[in-house]
């Protein structure tokens, strides 16, 4: 099993190219099931989760071609996927495929919308809390699907097709909004989704669906209106840049010091996180190439933050911020309001010497002058990268184990960091 070895203490200087967003690429690939024509997606990141979803879609009979590099391509440019779901030969998504990644459960929406039936295993995937699928099932039931759970599988049937409806989510849900949006595009009549998630990835998927002939208005607000159409066509769409990767590298620069250009980053996708970094003492500037982050000489100032749905501070940057605050000059407070069980990185950060205490959903971090390198173990995707950030600033050597978590969401992390002066390498086996 691969590990990542880091020798801390180097400032980061240079350019880090930002990859396409995993959290948009996955639902965009799934949206390819809605049309018998080819959907072409550019800037798709090369990640373990993307490869796994390709296997899942292949099981339904979807042909996916990955275009090779072209003259003038940059080293880190994402791949181009041609997704052709002309013939869906199987509407079952089996446990052994779905159990590895929660987002793959979302195939239930386009399958029942287009084929009027689907049988999808209840998901596995990530270790963060329960993340139930009840709101997704509720949304499909509102659209007229008959939903049953049998032997660990969710079975959806809509013999006459789905019908437009009012879907009012009792709490904001990104996955529920994705599922409702995809299913409603082929439903008869109008669907109104209220208390919808406003994340940029929802907007990206809606933009792509509209290119395919869907009629969606209001994506990015809490009220989305979908006029159903009889069929969708092919289209070409570029995946937006990854705001979580952007925020992660911005925090790594704030942690180590230095000056890095985050090429291709879009500040409006993570303004709340950039504001918190500014409070912490980083210098953030926006330019034509993306976002520049620097911290030269000044110490790290403590902050108080609560995670919140977009446009608030993202839960997916909470672990990284906690790493940064471990070296702040004073006490910081981070409250996690989105997922229970999302403080698993605390005990691993403590191995670096970090002083963190938990009280319910709030972590108090007493900053110390210097972390010490240590052997640590990744517990989930975002927690794993928080350990890398700590290792970059720690004295001595850090060994991060179980890095397959990292490969699910960060493309060539060690290459991007070492190009900016970090002493970091992957050790295989």
> pLDDT tens-digit profile of 134-174?
999 999 999 999 999 998 899 999 999 999 999 999 999 99
Q: What is the pLDDT of residue 127?
A: 46
- Average pLDDT of span 279-296: 97
Host H or E run for residue 205: helix 200-211
Residue 273 has pLDDT above 50, yes or no: yes
126 catalytic per annotation: yes
314 is in an annotated binding site: no
Rounded CA gap, 27 and 202, in Å? 9
Mark whether 197 and 245 lie in a shared domain. no
Q: Are residues 226 and 328 in the same domain?
A: no
**Same domain? 308 vs 199:** no
Q: What's the confidence (pLDDT) of residue 124?
A: 59
pTM, whole model, 2 decimals?
A: 0.95
Checking if the pLDDT of 300 tops 70, the result is yes
Q: What is the CATH number of the domain that holds 44?
A: 3.65.10.10
Last residue of a domain, one of 206, 238, 270: 238
Statement to judge: residues 280 and 386 lie in one domain? yes
Q: Tell whether residue 311 is among the known ligand binding residues.
A: no
Flag whether 276 is marked binding: no
Final residue in a domain of this structure, among 238, 264, 289: 238
Residue 338 among known ligand-binding residues: yes
pLDDT at 245 over 60: yes
Summarize the confidence of residues 6-10 as an average pLDDT.
Answer: 98
DSSP 368-419: -S--B--EEE--SHHHHHHHHHHHHHSBSEEEEE-THHHHTT-TTHHHHHHT
Q: Please indicate if the annotation marks 241 as binding a ligand.
A: no
Tell me 60's DSSP state.
Answer: T
pLDDT(268) > 80: yes
Give alpha helix (H) positions in 32-186: 48-59, 95-98, 108-115, 134-142, 174-185
Helix (H), strand (E), coil (C) string for 186-198: CCECEEEEECCCC
pLDDT band at 339, cuts 50/70/90? confident
- Say if residue 44 is in the same domain as residue 13: no
- Percentage of the residues of the chain whose pLDDT score is greater than 70: 96
pLDDT for position 379: 85
Rounded to 10 deg, the angle between the 134-142 and 174-185 helix axes is 30
The more confident residue out of 191 and 133 is: 191
Residues 221 and 154 in one domain: yes
Task: Provide the pLDDT for residue 429.
Answer: 78
Q: What is d(CA 46, CA 28) in angstroms, rounded to the nearest whole number?
A: 15
Q: Are 200 and 92 within one domain?
A: yes
Averaged over 362-372, what is the pLDDT? 97
Confidence at residue 383, expressed as pLDDT on a 0 to 100 scale: 86
- Give the least confident one: 20-34, 156-170, 182-196, 376-390: 376-390
Report, in this order, helix, strand and coil percent for the chain, each rounded to 5.
Answer: 35, 30, 40
pLDDT digits (tens, 9 = 90+) for 65-104: 998 666 666 666 789 999 999 999 999 999 999 988 888 9
Q: Tell me: is residue 133 an annotated ligand-binding position.
A: yes
30 is in an annotated binding site: no
The mean pLDDT value of the chain amounts to: 94
Q: Which of 126, 208, 327, 420 is catalytic?
A: 126
Whether 282 has a pLDDT exceeding 50, the answer reads yes
Q: What is the pLDDT of residue 406?
A: 92
Mean pLDDT, range 164-192, rounded to an integer: 97
Task: Tell me, yes or no, whether 304 and 264 share the same domain.
Answer: yes
Shared domain for 119 and 12, answered yes or no, is no
Q: Is 229 annotated as a binding residue?
A: no
pLDDT beyond 60 at 110: yes
User: 370 and 325 in one domain?
Assistant: yes
Position 263 pLDDT exceeds 70: yes
Give the pLDDT band (50/70/90) at residue 126.
very low
Number of structural domains found in the chain: 2
Does residue 128 carry a pLDDT above 50? no
Given 184, 208, 238, which residue is the final one in a domain? 238
Residue 182 or 429, more confident = 182
Given this model, what pLDDT does residue 342 score?
A: 82
Q: Is 334 annotated as a binding residue?
A: no
State mean pLDDT over 230-259. Answer: 98
pLDDT at 131: 52
Domain that holds residue 57: 22-238
Are 259 and 189 members of one domain?
Answer: no
Residue spans of beta strands (DSSP E) within 232-383: 235-238, 258-263, 283-287, 290-295, 304-306, 331-335, 355-359, 362-366, 375-377
Tens digits of per-residue pLDDT, 42-61? 999 999 999 999 999 999 99
200 with 273, same domain: the answer is: no
């Amino acid at each position: 099993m691969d590990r990542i070895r880091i020798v801390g203490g180097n400032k980061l200087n240079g350019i880090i190219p930002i990859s396409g967003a995993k959290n948009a690429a996955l639902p965009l690939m799934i949206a390819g099931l809605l049309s018998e024509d080819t959907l072409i997606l550019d800037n798709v990141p090369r990640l373990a989760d993307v490869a796994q979803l390709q296997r899942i879609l292949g099981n339904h009979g979807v042909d996916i071609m990955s275009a090779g590099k072209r003259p003038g391509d940059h080293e880190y440019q994402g791949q181009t996927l041609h997704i052709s779901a002309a013939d869906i030969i199987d509407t079952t998504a089996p446990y052994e495929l779905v159990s590895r990644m929660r987002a793959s459960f979302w195939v239930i929406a386009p399958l029942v919308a287009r084929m009027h039936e689907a049988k999808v295993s209840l998901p596995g995937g990530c270790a963060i809390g329960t993340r139930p699928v009840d709101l997704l099932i509720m949304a499909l039931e509102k659209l007229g699907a008959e939903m049953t759970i049998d032997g660990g599988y969710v079975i959806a049937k809509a013999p006459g097709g789905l019908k437009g409806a009012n879907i009012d989510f009792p709490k904001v849900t990104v996955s529920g909004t994705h599922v409702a949006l995809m299913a409603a595009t082929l439903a008869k009549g109008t669907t109104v989704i209220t208390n919808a998630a406003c994340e940029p990835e929802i907007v990206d998927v809606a933009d792509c669906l509209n290119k395919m002939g869907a009629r969606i208005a209001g994506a990015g607000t809490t009220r989305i209106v979908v006029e159903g159409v009889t069929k969708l066509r092919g289209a070409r769409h570029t995946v937006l840049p990854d705001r979580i990767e952007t925020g992660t590298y911005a925090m790594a620069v704030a942690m180590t010091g230095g000056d890095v250009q985050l090429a291709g980053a879009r500040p409006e996708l993570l303004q709340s996180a950039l504001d918190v970094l500014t409070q912490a003492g980083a210098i953030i500037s926006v330019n034509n190439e993306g976002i520049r982050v620097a911290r030269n000489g000044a110490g790290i100032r403590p902050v108080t933050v609560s995670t919140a749905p977009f446009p608030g501070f993202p839960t997916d940057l909470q672990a990284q911020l906690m790493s940064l605050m471990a070296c702040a000059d004073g006490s910081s407070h981070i409250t996690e309001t989105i997922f229970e069980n999302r403080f698993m990185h605390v005990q691993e950060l403590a191995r670096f010497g970090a002083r963190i205490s938990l009280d319910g959903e709030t972590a108090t971090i007493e900053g110390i002058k210097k972390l010490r390198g240590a052997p640590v173990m990744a517990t989930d995707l975002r927690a794993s990268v928080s350990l890398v950030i700590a290792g970059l600033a720690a004295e001595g050597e850090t060994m991060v184990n179980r890095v397959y978590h990292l490969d699910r969401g960060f493309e060539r992390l060690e290459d991007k960091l070492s190009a900016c002066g970090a002493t970091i390498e992957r050790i295989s086996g």
